[in-house]
Amino acid sequence: MVIYMYDEMFSSLNHHSKPTLLHMNMGISDSVPKLVRHPTDFIPNSADSTPITSRQQSAFPTAPTSKPETIKETESVKEPGNKNVVSVFCRIHEGKSCTSPFSISPRQLVIPPKGNDSITVSFTPFPTEEVTTDINCFGYALGYMSLDGPNVAEIPGKVKRSQAYKASKLRLDMTTHVKPALLTIEPADEEGMRYRSAMSDLLQENGSLKLENLKICSVMLSNLTLTPLTFRLVTKSPFCLVELDPSSNPEKSARAHQTDFNTLKPRHNLIAKVAFITTTDLLSEISDKYLDRNNDESDSAKDISGRVEVKDNLIVEFNNTAQQVVPLHATLIVPQLELSKESLDFGTCLVGQVRELQLMIFNNTSSHTSWSVSIESRSDTCALDTFRVDPSNGLLEAHITYVSNSKCLIHVFFLAKHAEHYEATFTFHGILGEVPRRLYVRGQGSYDEKHEAILDA
């Protein structure tokens, strides 16, 4: 039996009108002679003994073509009164002969009349480092049948029996599907690697900011295959691998963005922990993007509630360059300040009398916020105490329920010292990436007592 593996490069030529490649077999005396005792040797000068057909290894096979095989005896040299000495057979070349990944043992059988025998078809998987994607392997075996006897093929003047390449062949098609060896990934949470954090996680009780805050999710990586798998884990900021063995990563730390290559034995598993890190640096980056209202990419990442979606992957990189990805999804709440009014007009007021107007400041997000107010600009006529805001700072809780302390009443005072026009701009800002809010105030002083307020603030 001769094993032929299909090669896509050759089968593609059969679909064109260009000259078709031919496979030529040349035999001396018997076209398919008996094999010698050594299992790896063939009778010299036989059709299956050339380096091309019996020793060459093929590349990855592809699907066979549907074009039928055609065999033609192209030349026969005879001696007078003797059988053929040299026979040449040509057929369409549909694939390469090989012994991998499919192989058949034994290569030759002698089956007695009304008897039977069996063969073993083996598939040898490719090396792990060569399988990076799914591979379909197609092959077929051709069985050439000959008569076991010197005088049974032809009795002169009575009968002539076809055999070997001239007789009908037995064809056995073989196929397999090879998948790359991958890990089984099982996140600890049903939602997967899902993080929910708020910028207020950085706030401490005294109002200062912590350097960072971690939200940790874990995932179990299991090797359910029968081969050891060598891989490393890779992620990037703001995600980070935590609780590591310091000897397992180049940074020699319990926290890293990349590990060294490690081997996981069959039927073993490990737990990887990935943290979403909220830091003051991340705070400034988010603040800069949020201020860019004209940036479409920025707007697509955030909505009006101050919700920031951060999506990335934990990459499992194998030593054969294959990769698996574990999706990482973090939702970060950035607090936002809202004012009930954007401007206040005190109108005309009596000089020396303090007047008061009020407004509300809100926090409608799910994150606490610490705010303060400062004067951004003022007219030349304004003194330091012409306009005054009370309170000038505070803490607004997250808006979780209607009883949450997420709003505050702001009092703005105006004191005219002369009959002049006064203007000023106040800025309300936070320390957690909030968008600053501006309040414009103005007023006019007068000595006319008709502008005196009945109720003195």
Burial status of residue 444 (CB atoms within 10 A of its CB: 0-12, 13-18, 19 or more): middle
What is residue 256's DSSP assignment? B
Burial status of residue 412 (CB atoms within 10 A of its CB: 0-12, 13-18, 19 or more): buried
What is the rounded distance in angstroms from the CA atom of residue 48 to the CA atom of residue 39?
Answer: 13
What pLDDT does residue 156 have? Answer: 76
What pLDDT does residue 386 have? Answer: 92
Apex CA 139: angle with CA 58 and CA 227, to 5°? 75
Average pLDDT over every residue of 238-267: 88
Q: What is the pLDDT of residues 17-49, one digit of tens each?
A: 445 567 677 767 666 666 655 544 444 444 444
What is the rounded distance in angstroms from the CA atom of residue 4 to the CA atom of residue 157?
Answer: 37
What contacts 83, CB < 8 A, 6 or more positions away?
29, 154
Q: What is the pLDDT of residues 301-330, one digit of tens each?
A: 344 457 888 889 999 998 888 888 999 999
> What's the pTM value of the predicted model, to 2 decimals?
0.60
Which tokens go with 298? Answer: 């920025």
Residue 290 has pLDDT above 60, yes or no: no
Residue 167 has pLDDT above 70, yes or no: yes
Average pLDDT value over all residues in the chain? 77
Residue 299 has pLDDT above 50, yes or no: no
**Helix, strand, coil % over all residues of the chain, rounded to 5:** 10, 45, 45
Residues in the chain: 457
Distances (CA, A) of 246 to 201, 222, 249: 28, 22, 6
What is residue 304's DSSP assignment? T
What is the rounded distance in angstroms from the CA atom of residue 97 to the CA atom of residue 3?
Answer: 6
Which tokens go with 226? Answer: 């029968």
Asked whether the beta carbons of 3 and 141 are under 8 A apart, the reply is: yes
What is the rounded distance in angstroms from the CA atom of residue 192 to the CA atom of residue 190?
Answer: 5
Determine how many CB atoms are found less than 10 A away from the CB of residue 332.
Answer: 25
What is the rounded distance in angstroms from the CA atom of residue 343 to the CA atom of residue 359?
Answer: 10
Asked whether the beta carbons of 89 and 25 are under 8 A apart, the reply is: yes
Residue 359 has pLDDT above 80, yes or no: yes
Which tokens go with 350? Answer: 């009596």
What is residue 302's DSSP assignment? B
What pLDDT does residue 73 have? Answer: 45
Apex CA 177: angle with CA 261 and CA 119, to 5°? 115
- Give the residue with greater pLDDT, 165 vs 428: 428
What pLDDT does residue 339 have? Answer: 94
Q: What is the pLDDT of residues 116-143, one digit of tens each?
A: 888 888 888 777 667 777 888 888 887 8
Pick the closest to residue 361 from 353, 352, 370 (CA basis).
370
Say whether 298 sits in a helix, a strand or coil. Answer: helix
Which pLDDT band, with edges at 50, 70 and 90, does 169 fall under? confident
What is the rounded distance in angstroms from the CA atom of residue 323 to the CA atom of residue 315?
Answer: 7
Helices and strands per DSSP (H, E), number in the chain: 4, 29
Burial status of residue 182 (CB atoms within 10 A of its CB: 0-12, 13-18, 19 or more): middle
Q: Which domains does the chain have, with CATH numbers?
A: 2-178 (no CATH), 184-333 (2.60.40.10), 338-451 (2.60.40.10)
What contacts 437, CB < 8 A, 6 or more positions away?
337, 338, 339, 342, 427, 428, 429
What pLDDT does residue 32 have? Answer: 67
Q: What is the pLDDT of residues 48-100, one digit of tens each?
A: 444 433 333 343 444 444 444 444 444 444 444 456 677 777 777 666 777 77
Apex CA 183: angle with CA 180 and CA 187, to 5°? 145
- Give the residue with greater pLDDT, 398 vs 179: 398
Provide the percentage of residues in the chain whose pLDDT is more than 90.
32
Highest-scoring range by mean pLDDT, 27-41, 97-111, 356-370: 356-370
Average pLDDT over every residue of 152-169: 74
